[in-house]
């Protein structure tokens, strides 16, 4: 696969090197499979480049756990013990975030989602990580739990070269407009349509 | 994200457990980003489930290397040294496969692609791995280097519960028909359209 050639070269006065360090805002949306999976695949690549990776999962249940979390825990240990790749943090909303005093104490998902975004916003301002995955973040946006205009303003103004990948169905148009890279995952065929069950190692 | 519910339950006499062990043939196609990345993300999940993962990259140049390869090498070491996850093998076509005597000796990509498929076919018959990624395998199919009918027949008849994920643009209709899970990655927006360069940790 050859590296892509730009269709045009912008007259922005930047060197090629400077352009290679520009931060990317990516959105994976659509009803097909692979939105989160591709985001974690990107995080793998980022980890290998030595970037500090942080995953924030806006999932409803703390019990819901994906295999990727364990795999990234192993990569995080490889970083801590052998200096391989970048550092890894993995946070799940569940019924409260790991950094929150309210952890496990409540089931107010709207408040938890807003708190998650507030923390991400603080970390972006502090340039705490290099590569952020905001998994299933389109849902709190869709449901109005987090204000889309504030999210777009914060992401657009984020300092440094922090990359952000947002996943979930029904990405708001304002988010798509702000993004550099948008892929829609379209379902062509899914085994559950034929009545098949999820497969261990495939679905979770 | 709730686990999907089947639209119908097939009258196939299988228990839920047996249905959960059915092998999956997945295809990631389309012109958008994320085809290979999502396949590697799936491999991450498979690794965590303890499945024996093997990646076969049908790429043209041996020099072309992705960050995922190094990350999976780290996961393979975590398996070998600590018993974490599953075993990992990673093979690139380049100008010859790692198992081949002809390695590096020739530039006959058609022969190398055919040899790669012959080896995969042998491994499927021997149930050597549990989870196969055939990365960019649609191209040798498209160019007629590997016979699509033979590939479909071999995949359809593969023994045990071996999962196979095939990536690349322009997946042949016969492959789509044979697949259980097909996702088309559609490009909505790409930074290179705006003249931006590939980003380290994002594009490679």
Provide the residue ranges of all domains of chain A, joining segments of one domain with +: 22-31+40-171
- Cβ-count burial B112-144 (b if 16+ within 10 Å, e if not): bbebbbebbbebbeeeebbbbbbbbbbbbbeee
Angle between the N-to-C axes of helices A67-82 and B67-82, in degrees from 0 to 180, rounded to the nearest 10: 90
Q: How confident is the model at residue B33 (pLDDT cuts 50, 70, 90)?
A: confident
Chain B residues whose CB is inside 8 A of the A192 CB are 4-7
DSSP 8-state assignment for residue B5:
P
Residue A72 has pLDDT above 90, yes or no: yes
- What is the pairing mode between strands B181-189 and A181-189? antiparallel
Q: How confident is the model at residue B27 (pLDDT cuts 50, 70, 90)?
A: very high
pLDDT of residue A1: 37
d(CA B93, CA A194): 35
Most confident of A56-60, A185-189, B51-55, B67-71: B51-55
Residue A104 has pLDDT above 80, yes or no: no
Closest-CA distance, A7 to chain B, in angstroms, reads: 6
Q: What is the mean pLDDT of residues B88-98?
A: 85
Residue closest to A184 by CA, chosen among B91, B3, B173, B184: B184
Shortest CB distance from B32 goes to which of A47, A77, A184? A184
Q: Do B3 and A186 touch (CB under 8 A)?
A: no
Most confident of B3-7, B13-17, B63-67: B63-67
- Percent of chain B whose pLDDT exceeds 90: 59
Closest-CA distance, A126 to chain B, in angstroms, reads: 20
Chain A residues whose CB is inside 8 A of the B26 CB are 202
pLDDT of residue A100: 78
pLDDT of residue A68: 87
Chain B residues whose CB is inside 8 A of the A38 CB are 33-34, 37-38, 41, 185
Q: Do B51 and A201 touch (CB under 8 A)?
A: yes
The answer to which of A55-59, B27-31, B108-112 has the lowest mean pLDDT is B108-112
Residue closest to B3 by CA, chosen among A66, A37, A58: A66
pLDDT of residue A95: 61
Q: What is the mean pLDDT of residues B161-174?
A: 96
Q: How many residues does chain A have?
A: 204
Instruction: Specify the CATH architecture of the domain A22-31+40-171.
Output: 3-Layer(aba) Sandwich (3.40)
- Percent of chain A whose pLDDT exceeds 70: 76
pLDDT of residue A77: 92
Beta strands in B7-101 (DSSP E): 25-29, 53-57, 88-92
User: Which of A13, A76, A181, A204 is the mutation pick for testing B, counting most B CBs within 10 A?
Assistant: A181
**Strand order, beta sheet including A53-57:** A88-92, A53-57, A131-135, A163-167, A25-29, A181-189, B181-189, B25-29, B163-167, B131-135, B53-57, B88-92
Shortest CB distance from A199 goes to which of B24, B136, B186? B24
Q: What is the mean pLDDT of residues B91-99?
A: 81
Chain B residues whose CB is inside 8 A of the A21 CB are 199-200
The answer to which of A4-13, A32-41, B55-64, B95-104 has the lowest mean pLDDT is A4-13
Chain B residues whose CB is inside 8 A of the A196 CB are 6, 10, 19, 22, 180
ipTM over 0.85: no
pLDDT of residue B138: 97
The answer to which of A54-58, A139-143, B10-14, B26-30 has the lowest mean pLDDT is B10-14
User: Which of B12, B38, B60, B182 is the mutation pick for testing A, counting most A CBs within 10 A?
Assistant: B38
Q: Do B22 and A199 touch (CB under 8 A)?
A: yes
Read off the pLDDT of residues A130-181 as tens digits, 9 standing for 90 and up.
Answer: 999 999 999 999 999 999 999 999 999 999 999 999 999 999 999 999 999 9
Shortest CB distance from A181 goes to which of B24, B33, B36? B33
Residue B149 has pLDDT above 70, yes or no: yes
CATH topology of domain B23-178: Rossmann fold (3.40.50)
User: Closest chain A residue to B178 measured between Cα atoms?
Assistant: A189
Both tokens assigned to A56:
């924030």
Q: Which residue has the tokens 């496969």?
A: B97
Read off the pLDDT of residues B172-193 as tens digits, 9 standing for 90 and up.
Answer: 999 999 999 999 999 888 766 6
Residue B5 has pLDDT above 70, yes or no: no
Q: Do A59 and B24 touch (CB under 8 A)?
A: no
Size of interface A-B (CB pairs under 8 A): 265
Q: Do A197 and B16 touch (CB under 8 A)?
A: yes
Per-chain mean pLDDT for chain A? 85
pLDDT of residue A179: 95
The answer to which of A13-22, A112-121, B34-43, B130-139 has the lowest mean pLDDT is A13-22
Shortest CB distance from B192 goes to which of A4, A20, A193? A4
pLDDT of residue B26: 95
User: Which of A8, A194, A196, A198 is the mutation pick for testing B, counting most B CBs within 10 A?
Assistant: A196
pLDDT of residue A2: 41
Q: What is the DSSP string of A71-137?
A: HHHHHHHHHHHH--S--EEEEE-TTS-TT-TTTTT---HHHHHHHHHHHHHHHHHHT--SEEEEETT
């Amino acid at each position: 696969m050859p590296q892509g050639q730009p269709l045009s070269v912008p007259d922005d006065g930047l060197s090629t090197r400077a352009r290679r360090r520009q931060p990317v805002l990516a959105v994976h949306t659509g009803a097909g499979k692979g939105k989160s999976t591709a985001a974690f695949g990107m995080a793998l690549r980022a980890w290998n480049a030595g970037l500090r990776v942080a995953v924030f999962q806006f999932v409803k249940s703390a019990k819901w756990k994906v295999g990727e979390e364990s795999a990234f825990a192993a990569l995080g240990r490889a970083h801590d013990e052998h200096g391989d790749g970048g550092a890894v943090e993995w946070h799940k909303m569940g019924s409260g975030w790991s950094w929150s005093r309210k952890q496990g104490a409540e089931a107010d998902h709207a408040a938890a989602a807003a708190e998650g975004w507030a923390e991400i916003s603080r970390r972006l301002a502090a340039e705490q990580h290099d590569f952020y995955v905001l998994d299933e973040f389109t849902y709190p946006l869709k449901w109005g739990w987090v204000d889309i205009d504030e999210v777009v303003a914060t992401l657009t103004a984020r300092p440094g070269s922090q990359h952000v990948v947002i996943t979930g169905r029904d990405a708001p148009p304002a988010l798509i407009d702000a993004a550099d890279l948008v892929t829609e995952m379209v379902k062509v065929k899914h085994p559950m349509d034929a009545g098949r069950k999820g497969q261990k190692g495939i679905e979770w």
